[in-house]
Homo-oligomer: A and B are copies of this chain.
Amino acid sequence: MSVQKEYETVKELLTNYLEERKFRKTPERYAILEEIYKIDEHFDIDYLYNLFKKKHFSVSKATIYNTLELLMEAGLVRKHQFGKVQAFYEKSYFNKNHDHIIMLDDFEIIEFCDPRIDEIKNDFEEAMDIEIESHSLYFYARKKKVDNKK
């Protein structure tokens, strides 16, 4: 699906979300959503903020924080803590649930999926009579050192 087509889809979802709760359809909310769905990696607040600054479309950080919060609630964005203070985000609608390997050498982020996570999740839900709303799994890894001893 093209980027433009994807945006059309999530834009509709946002509109529904806002209308359902009688929230306002501000240009900032749509602009932020659109930018996010153009980004293919993980980004932080500053990245978005600078993006808008470069485009001479002024959006304050307060609004970015607020809007990302709202988009999370709408299920259109995922937030990550990666063990850092500063949070990272990513678009979430067309990406199915996935987990992350953080490469400690260069902080590259690799995504992966493994059905066993869901199995574990389901087992615990049943065993403990709880409902697991979400999960976060990070592997922190390094490239294997080349072993010169042969």
Measured CB to CB, the residues of A under 8 A from B are 79, 81-85, 101, 103-104, 110, 112, 114, 116-117, 119-121, 124-125, 128-145
Contact = CB atoms under 8 A, between A and B. Distances in A.
B136 A136 contact: yes
A118 to B, nearest CB: 11
13 contacts: A81-B83, A83-B136, A101-B124, A101-B132, A110-B128, A116-B116, A124-B141, A125-B141, A130-B141, A131-B145, A133-B142, A136-B137, A137-B137
Contacts of A104: 133
- What 7 pairs across the A-B complex have the smallest Cβ distances? A130-B141, A132-B141, A137-B137, A132-B139, A135-B139, A134-B140, A116-B116
Given A81-B81, A101-B124, A136-B138, A143 B116 contact: no
Given A85-B85, A135-B138, A103 B130 contact: yes
A133 B101 CA distance: 11
